[in-house]
C-alpha cells in the first residue's frame, strides 16, 4: 500500500484531530513528503487542514462544502454545484484570499432571491503546510489569552504557544525572540523591548525559602531581598533583567492592585492623561442659563434611577405618565455628548478605552470620575442635562409614537434593584421608597406588557447566572454570592431596550450615520455543537436548521426550561447561548436575532459605552439640523464600530478572568476540606450540585453510573435533593465551574464493601 493510501486509510479510521508532528512520528517519513501527501488528500476533499498544522477526516455529511474556485465573466469567484446552481464566494478582501483554481471549503447559505444561487462563506483555502524547524528563531509580542489562560506570540497570522521556563522574565506586551519547538509551540529566548517596567509580585514560601512570584505572566521566581512575610504583595521594577524593590502594597489595597495589574497586562489602563484631566477641570457642573432656555424642563416630572447598590455612574432615569388612552414613558439619558466633542482629547480617550470595566467591586471608567460620577451622572436631587426618549405606548404594550428631545431632569430618588424588588414583592418594605410605591407598581405593570410584546415577536430570554463576591473589612474576597434577577431588573431592561429600539429605527429610517448593534442568525456549525451538548441532557432537536428562526429558537428554549429547577434553567440557557453569534457594532443595520428586532442601536449608556456616545452625537446633529457637518465623521465610523466591538470583547475577557481568579482565591481556602452539598440535577455523565459555601459545580461520572435519574457513586444512590459530601478537585477555565470529587465516608465505604462481596 502506497504512503498516500496508508494515510488516507489512517484518517478514515481515526476521526479525531491529527497534528502534523504526530503524523511524522506515526508514518516515519520526511516532513516535505508528508506535506505533499496531505496537500494531495486535501485537494481531493478527503481531509481538511488548519493553519496550525492540524488535520481532520472529512465525513460524507460534513457541514462544509468542498470545491474548486471558478471565475465568472463579471470577475466574481464561485463554486459550481449540482443541477446548474452556483455558490458565490463572499467576504471582505476575498480577492486577496483566493484565486481561480484554488480548492476551498465553504459554508453554503441559500440566496433568498434566487433559488439556483447560494452564498458561500470561505472557511479554508487548501495550501501545503510549511513546518518551521525547531532551531528557527523569530520575534513578536508576547500575549496572554485571558479566557483560555495561555501565552502565545502571533507569528505570520498564526499563534505560536509559549511553553517552558520564563528565563528572560517576559511579561505580556513585551517584544521577545522565541525558538520554535514544534510548528505551533515555542520557547522564550530573550526580551528585546519591555512594554512596562513596573510589575506586581506576590511573596510565597517554597522549600522554606521566601520568593517573589510575578502576577499575570509565565512563572519565574526571585529570592526575597528585603524583610517580607508570606502573602505580601510588592511592586518591583525590572531594568535589564535586574530587579529593584519599589513598594509593599497595603493589605486593604491588595485586591485592587492585583486587579489593576491584570488590567494593565490585558492592555486596559484605568488612568487618564494630563491633557484629558485639564479638559475635565475646565468643565463646570452648573447648567448655563442658555441651556435652561432652549431645553425641555422635566424637573417637575417624577423621575427615579434604579441601579445596583454599588453604582456611582447613573446614566439613565425613568418617568411615567398614564394618560386617557396611553402610557407616556420618559427614558432620560445623561447628555454626555454635550460635554465630550470629537475634537477633544476626552473623545479620543473614550475611543481608546471603548467601555467602562466592572471587575469584582471595582470600576475602571471610560470617562474621568468628575464626569462619570458627578457632572454627567443623573444623581439624586440635582438638575442634570439629558436626552430624553419620549415614547407613547398603548395599553396593549405597542409603540404608538416616539421622539427625542434635549431636556433637563432632576432625579427624585436614587433607588437600588434589591430594595425595589422587595417593595414590589412585599418581602421587605423600605420606608423611604413608600411614596413611590404606586409609581413603581405602574412602571412594573407597563414593563410586563413590554415583556409580553418582546416574547410574542420571538425575543430569546436566556437566564444566565452571574457570580458576585463577598469581602471582609480589608476588601479581601472571602465568599461567593450568586445574583438573582428580580422585577426591577426586568423593568429597567425593558425600558432601556425600548429606547434603544426606537433609536435604531429612528437612525435607520432617517438614513443618518449611526452605530448599530447587530446579532446575526446563528450558523449551522454553532447549532450542531449545541445539539451535541443537549444530548447530554437527553434532548434531541429534529430540525436543527429551524433554530435559525428566532421564534423557533425561543420556543425550544422555553420548552426545554419548562418545569425545570432554577439551576437547570441556567445550565440549558448557557448551552443554547453558546449557539448564538456574538453581537457586534456596525455602521450597517443587520438586525438583532436575540432580540428579534430588524434594527437596534444602543444609546442608554453613554457614560460607559463609546458607541452610545457616538449615537448621541448623531442625534445632536439631527436636532440641530447639522447632519452635513456631522458627515465629516462618517469616514471614521466604520473604524469606530470595529474598535468598539474589539474593546467589548477585551472587557468581557478581562472581567471573566478576574471572576475566575477570584473564584480560585475563595476555593483555595477550602482545598482538602469536606464540603456538604445538595444534588441539583444530572446529565448523562455529570451530577450537578450546590454546597453550603455557595460553590456550584459537578462530579464527572461514567454513563453507566446514572440510571433513571439516580446516580450510583461508590455503592450509594443519589437523586435530586440528596445530600452529598465532596471535595474541590479543579476549576474550569472557561465556564468558571468547579469540578468536585466524591468523599467516601467510613460508613459508605463499609456499605460499598458489602455490596461488592
* Highest mean pLDDT of the ranges 92-96, 262-266, 541-545, 607-611: 607-611
Residue 160 dihedral angles phi and psi, to the nearest 5°: -105, 110
Reference 413, options 387, 389, 430, 432; nearest CA is: 432
Specify whether the CB–CB gap between 211 and 223 falls below 8 A. yes
Q: Rounded CA gap, 744 and 386, in Å?
A: 62
Exposed (0-12), middle (13-18) or buried (19+): which is 326, by Cβ within 10 Å? Answer: middle
Sheet holding 710-713, edge to edge: 706-707, 710-713, 716-718
**What CATH number has the domain spanning 137-193?**
2.40.50.140
Mean pLDDT of 614-619: 94
pLDDT at 139 over 60: yes
Q: Rounded CA gap, 133 and 128, in Å?
A: 16
CA angle, residues 413, 418, 422, in degrees to nearest 5:
95
Specify whether the CB–CB gap between 283 and 375 falls below 8 A. yes
Instruction: Band the pLDDT of 429: cuts 50, 70, 90.
Output: confident
Residue 1 pLDDT: 64
Complete DSSP assignment for 628-664: HHHGGGHHHHHHHHHHHHHHHHHHHHHHHHHHHHHHH
How far is residue 352 from each of residues 190, 291, 345, measured CA to CA in Å?
30, 30, 11
Residue 147 pLDDT: 61
Specify whether the CB–CB gap between 451 and 490 falls below 8 A. yes
Mean pLDDT of 679-690: 88
Exposed (0-12), middle (13-18) or buried (19+): which is 642, by Cβ within 10 Å? Answer: middle
Residue 755 pLDDT: 39
Instruction: Band the pLDDT of 313: cuts 50, 70, 90.
Output: very high
Reference 67, options 118, 36, 101; nearest CA is: 101
Instruction: Band the pLDDT of 750: cuts 50, 70, 90.
Output: very low
Q: Rounded CA gap, 28 and 3, in Å?
A: 10
Q: Rounded CA gap, 607 and 486, in Å?
A: 24
Q: What does DSSP assign to residue 609? A: B
Lowest-pLDDT range of 123-132, 248-257, 428-437: 123-132
pLDDT at 571 over 90: no
Residue 135 pLDDT: 58
CB burial of 480-502 (b: ≥16 within 10 Å; e: otherwise) equals beeeeebbbbbbbebbbbbbbbb
**What are the beta bridge partners of residue 179?**
137, 187
Q: State the average pLDDT for the chain.
A: 88
Q: Rounded CA gap, 323 and 74, in Å?
A: 60
Exposed (0-12), middle (13-18) or buried (19+): which is 112, by Cβ within 10 Å? Answer: exposed
Reference 496, options 332, 375, 708; nearest CA is: 332
Mean pLDDT of 406-417: 96
Instruction: Band the pLDDT of 66: cuts 50, 70, 90.
Output: very high
Q: Rounded CA gap, 577 and 234, in Å?
A: 41
**What are the beta bridge partners of residue 511?**
none
Give me the architecture of the 670-756 domain, per CATH. Beta Barrel (2.40)
pLDDT at 133 over 70: no
Residue 348 gets the label, from left (phi > 0), alpha (psi -120 to 50) or beta, of alpha
Residue 674 dihedral angles phi and psi, to the nearest 5°: -80, 130
Instruction: Band the pLDDT of 748: cuts 50, 70, 90.
Output: very low
How do 158-162 and 675-682 pair as beta strands?
A: unpaired
184-187: long-range pairs with CB below 8 Å, 24+: 184/52, 184/53, 184/158, 184/159, 184/160, 185/160, 185/161, 186/138, 186/153, 186/160, 186/161, 186/162, 187/162, 187/163
For the chain, state the CA radius of gyration. Answer: 29
CA angle, residues 126, 131, 137, in degrees to nearest 5:
135
pLDDT tens sequence across 482-528: 777 899 999 999 999 999 999 999 999 988 889 999 999 988 888 88
pLDDT at 132 over 80: no
Specify whether the CB–CB gap between 596 and 459 falls below 8 A. yes
Contact residues for 635 (Cβ-Cβ < 8 A; gap 6+): none
Pure H helices in 359-416: 369
Contact residues for 200 (Cβ-Cβ < 8 A; gap 6+): 214, 215, 216, 233, 234, 235, 249, 257, 258, 261
Q: Rounded CA gap, 290 and 353, in Å?
A: 32
Residue 443 pLDDT: 97
Residue 753 pLDDT: 41
Cell output for 749? 465505604
Mean pLDDT of 323-328: 95
pLDDT at 705 over 70: yes
Reference 494, options 546, 423, 444; nearest CA is: 444
3-state secondary structure labels for all residues of 97-147: HCCCCCEEEEEEEECCCCCCEEEEEEEEECCCCCCCCCCCEEEEEEEEECC
Q: Rounded CA gap, 363 and 310, in Å?
A: 10
- 3-125 has which fold? OB fold (Dihydrolipoamide Acetyltransferase, E2P) (2.40.50)
Mean pLDDT of 447-467: 88
Residue 749 pLDDT: 42
Cell output for 327? 402610557
Residue 362 pLDDT: 87
pLDDT tens sequence across 141-177: 999 876 667 899 988 878 899 988 899 999 999 999 9
Residue 645 pLDDT: 93
What three-state secondary structure class fits 548?
helix
Mean pLDDT of 719-737: 82
**What are the beta bridge partners of residue 413?**
304
Mean pLDDT of 330-345: 96
Residue 264 dihedral angles phi and psi, to the nearest 5°: -65, -40
* Highest mean pLDDT of the ranges 85-94, 171-180, 604-613, 724-733: 604-613
Sign of the CA dihedral with 409 first, then 412, 417, and 421 last = negative
Q: How many CA atoms lie within 13 A of 476 on its CB side?
A: 12
Mean pLDDT of 48-54: 84
Residue 146 pLDDT: 64
Cell output for 538? 437527553
Mean pLDDT of 213-221: 89
Pure H helices in 315-376: 345-353, 369
**What are the beta bridge partners of residue 212?**
203, 222
Residue 757 pLDDT: 36
pLDDT at 300 over 70: yes
Specify whether the CB–CB gap between 440 and 303 falls below 8 A. no
pLDDT at 746 over 60: no
Cell output for 360? 469584582
First-last CA distance in the chain: 52
Amino acid at each position: 500500500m502506497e504512503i498516500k493510501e496508508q494515510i488516507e486509510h489512517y484518517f478514515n479510521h481515526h476521526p479525531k484531530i491529527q497534528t502534523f508532528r504526530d503524523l511524522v512520528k506515526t508514518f516515519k517519513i520526511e516532513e516535505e513528503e508528508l506535506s505533499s501527501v496531505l496537500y494531495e488528500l486535501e485537494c481531493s476533499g478527503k481531509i481538511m487542514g488548519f493553519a496550525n498544522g492540524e488535520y481532520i477526516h472529512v465525513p460524507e455529511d460534513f457541514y462544509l462544502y468542498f470545491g474548486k474556485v471558478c471565475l465568472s465573466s463579471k470577475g466574481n469567484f464561485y463554486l459550481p454545484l449540482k443541477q446548474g446552481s452556483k455558490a458565490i464566494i463572499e467576504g471582505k478582501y476575498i480577492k486577496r484570499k483566493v484565486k481561480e483554481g484554488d480548492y476551498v471549503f465553504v459554508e453554503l447559505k441559500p440566496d433568498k432571491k434566487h433559488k439556483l444561487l447560494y452564498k458561500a462563506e470561505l472557511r479554508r483555502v487548501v495550501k501545503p503546510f510549511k513546518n518551521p524547524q525547531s532551531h528557527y528563531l523569530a520575534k513578536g509580542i508576547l500575549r496572554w489569552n485571558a479566557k483560555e489562560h495561555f501565552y502565545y506570540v502571533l507569528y505570520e497570522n498564526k499563534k505560536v504557544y509559549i511553553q517552558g521556563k520564563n528565563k528572560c522574565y517576559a511579561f505580556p506586551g513585551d517584544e521577545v525572540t522565541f525558538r520554535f519547538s514544534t510548528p505551533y509551540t515555542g520557547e522564550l529566548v530573550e526580551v528585546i523591548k519591555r512594554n512596562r517596567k513596573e510589575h506586581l509580585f506576590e511573596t510565597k514560601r517554597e522549600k522554606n525559602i521566601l520568593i517573589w512570584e510575578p502576577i499575570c505572566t509565565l512563572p519565574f521566581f526571585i529570592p526575597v531581598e528585603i524583610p517580607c512575610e508570606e502573602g505580601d504583595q510588592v511592586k518591583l521594577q525590572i531594568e535589564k533583567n535586574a530587579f529593584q524593590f519599589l513598594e509593599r502594597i497595603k493589605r486593604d489595597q491588595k485586591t485592587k492592585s492585583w486587579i489593576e495589574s491584570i488590567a494593565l497586562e490585558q492592555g486596559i489602563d484605568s488612568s487618564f492623561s494630563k491633557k484629558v484631566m485639564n479638559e475635565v477641570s475646565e468643565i463646570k457642573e452648573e447648567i448655563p442659563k442658555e441651556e435652561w432656555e432652549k431645553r425641555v424642563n422635566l424637573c417637575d416630572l417624577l423621575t427615579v434611577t434604579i441601579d445596583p447598590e454599588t453604582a456611582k455612574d447613573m446614566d439613565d432615569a425613568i418617568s411615567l405618565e398614564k394618560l386617557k388612552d396611553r402610557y407616556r414613558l420618559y427614558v432620560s439619558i445623561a447628555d454626555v455628548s454635550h460635554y465630550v466633542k470629537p475634537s477633544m482629547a476626552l473623545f479620543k480617550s473614550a475611543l481608546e478605552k471603548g467601555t467602562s470595566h466592572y471587575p469584582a467591586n471595582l470600576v475602571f471608567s471610560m470617562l474621568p470620575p468628575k464626569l462619570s460620577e458627578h457632572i454627567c451622572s443623573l444623581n439624586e436631587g440635582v438638575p442634570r442635562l439629558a436626552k430624553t426618549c419620549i415614547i407613547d405606548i398603548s395599553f396593549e404594550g405597542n409603540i404608538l409614537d416616539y421622539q427625542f428631545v434635549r431636556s433637563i431632569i432632576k432625579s427624585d430618588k436614587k433607588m437600588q434593584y434589591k430594595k425595589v424588588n422587595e417593595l414590589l414583592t412585599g418581602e421587605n418594605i423600605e420606608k423611604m421608597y413608600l411614596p413611590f410605591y404606586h409609581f413603581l407598581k405602574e412602571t412594573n405593570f407597563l414593563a410586563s406588557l413590554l415583556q409580553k410584546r418582546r416574547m410574542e415577536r420571538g425575543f430569546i430570554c436566556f437566564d444566565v447566572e452571574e457570580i458576585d463576591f463577598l469581602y471582609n473589612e480589608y476588601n479581601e474576597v472571602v465568599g461567593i454570592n450568586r445574583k438573582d434577577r428580580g422585577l426591577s431588573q426586568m423593568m429597567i431592561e425593558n425600558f432601556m431596550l425600548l429606547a434603544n429600539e426606537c433609536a435604531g429605527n429612528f437612525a435607520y429610517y432617517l438614513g443618518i450615520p449611526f452605530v448599530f448593534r447587530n446579532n446575526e442568525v446563528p450558523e449551522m456549525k454553532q447549532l450542531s455543537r449545541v445539539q451535541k451538548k443537549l444530548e447530554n441532557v437527553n434532548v434531541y432537536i429534529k430540525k436543527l436548521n429551524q433554530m435559525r428562526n428566532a421564534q423557533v429558537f425561543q420556543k425550544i428554549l422555553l420548552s426545554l426550561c419548562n418545569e425545570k429547577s432554577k439551576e437547570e434553567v441556567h445550565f440549558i440557557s448557557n448551552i443554547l447561548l453558546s449557539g448564538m453569534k456574538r453581537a457586534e457594532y456596525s455602521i450597517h443595520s443587520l438586525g438583532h436575532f436575540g432580540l428579534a428586532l430588524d434594527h437596534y442601536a444602543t444609546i442608554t449608556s453613554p457614560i460607559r459605552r463609546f458607541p452610545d456616545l457616538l449615537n448621541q452625537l448623531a442625534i445632536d446633529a439631527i436636532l440641530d439640523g447639522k447632519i452635513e457637518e456631522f458627515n465629516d465623521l462618517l469616514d471614521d465610523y466604520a473604524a469606530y464600530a470595529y474598535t468598539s466591538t474589539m474593546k467589548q470583547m477585551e472587557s468581557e475577557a478581562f472581567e471573566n478572568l478576574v471572576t475566575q481568579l477570584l473564584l480560585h482565591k475563595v476555593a483555595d481556602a477550602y482545598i482538602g476540606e469536606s464540603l456538604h452539598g445538595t444534588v441539583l440535577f444530572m446529565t448523562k455523565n455529570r451530577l450537578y450540585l450546590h454546597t453550603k459555601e455557595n460553590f456550584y459545580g459537578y462530579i464527572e461520572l461514567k454513563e453507566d453510573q446514572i440510571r433513571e435519574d439516580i446516580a450510583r457513586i461508590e455503592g450509594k444512590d443519589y437523586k435530586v435533593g440528596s445530600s452529598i459530601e465532596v471535595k474541590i478537585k479543579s476549576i474550569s477555565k472557561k465556564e468558571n465551574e468547579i469540578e468536585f470529587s466524591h468523599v467516601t465516608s467510613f460508613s459508605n465505604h463499609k456499605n460499598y464493601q458489602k455490596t461488592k462481596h
